[in-house]
């Protein structure tokens, strides 16, 4: 029996995944969380063989939650679910210690393949993403300014482009507002932009946000 824990801020997504998994033999969903913070609390006192973690959530998000869970539970096996298929997201996620990277467009068969692969102690990356990661290693990072960002900078960029204020980000990440602003201005410098609106436009051009966010 493989036990799982689902983390996604959308109830409909969690319900869909749960129903998909309940149709599979030898799989049991132990619980759900709607944020990275709740996932961390659950993982401190409970165990699941596999954690399915959404990457884009309000608050600290899936990448930071993955990193924090692995700090106190280094043997945790986390598969990150996301809509993002292009670097730097897959690379950042795997660097954070995730055991798998799966797109939300994956079907039931691929999801179970990922779960069983990770459960056996191996890593799993969707084939199309693995191909793009391989190809991107041959291209210059200068073609994609996002490649120059650190994991923390990328995390704060995503939070800003979703409309979160500096004060909210500072509370969620346990950083001072001054530190968050320092990261913010460092983002502007690295990306050659002058404000949050330009940052959002860049995120849309890079496929990180839907254009409806404007």
Instruction: Give residue-wise pLDDT tens across range 152-203.
Output: 888 888 888 878 889 988 888 888 999 999 999 888 888 888 888 888 887 7
Which string of DSSP letters, residue by residue, matches 71-107? HH-TT--EEEEES--STTHHHHHHHTT-SEEEETT--
Average pLDDT over residues 94-115: 88
Q: Residues 107-164: pLDDT tens digits?
A: 888 999 999 999 999 999 887 777 666 555 544 445 567 777 777 888 888 888 878 8
Contact 191, 145 (CB under 8 A): yes
- Domains contained in the chain, number: 2
CATH for 71: 3.40.50.2300
Counting every residue, how long is the chain?
214
Whether 76 and 109 map to the same domain: the answer is yes
Whether 117 and 169 map to the same domain: the answer is no
Whether 151 and 193 map to the same domain: the answer is yes
Tell how strand 100-103 and strand 2-7 pair up: unpaired
In the block, residue with structure tokens 């496929």 = 207
DSSP E strand boundaries for 10-165 = 27-33, 50-54, 78-82, 100-103, 124-125
In the β-sheet with 50-54, what is the strand arrangement from edge to edge?
Answer: 27-33, 2-7, 50-54, 78-82, 100-103, 124-125
Whether 47 and 67 map to the same domain: the answer is yes
d(CA 108, CA 128): 16
- What is the domain range of residue 9? 2-136
Highest mean pLDDT among 85-94, 96-105, 148-157: 96-105
| Beta-carbon contacts of residue 171 (< 8 Å; ≥ 6 apart) | none
d(CA 98, CA 92): 9
């Amino acid at each position: 029996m493989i036990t799982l824990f689902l983390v996604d801020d959308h109830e409909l997504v969690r319900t869909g995944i749960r129903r998909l998994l309940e149709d599979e033999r030898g799989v049991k969903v132990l619980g759900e969380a709607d944020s990275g913070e709740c996932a961390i609390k659950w993982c401190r006192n409970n165990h699941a063989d596999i954690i399915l973690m959404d990457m884009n959530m309000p608050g600290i998000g899936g990448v930071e939650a993955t990193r924090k869970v692995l700090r106190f539970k280094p043997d945790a096996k986390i598969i990150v679910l996301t809509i993002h298929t292009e670097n730097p997201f897959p690379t950042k996620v795997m660097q954070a210690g995730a055991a798998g990277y799966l797109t939300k467009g994956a079907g039931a068969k691929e999801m179970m393949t990922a779960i069983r692969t990770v459960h056996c102690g191996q890593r799993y990356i969707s084939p199309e993403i693995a191909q793009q990661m391989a190809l991107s290693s041959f291209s210059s990072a200068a073609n994609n300014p996002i490649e120059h960002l650190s994991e923390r900078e990328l995390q704060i960029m995503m939070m800003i482009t979703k409309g979160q204020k500096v004060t909210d980000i500072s509370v969620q990440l346990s950083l001072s507002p001054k530190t968050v602003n320092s990261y913010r201005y460092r983002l502007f410098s690295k990306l050659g932009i002058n404000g949050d609106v330009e940052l959002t436009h860049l995120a849309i051009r890079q496929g990180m946000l839907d254009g409806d966010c404007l």
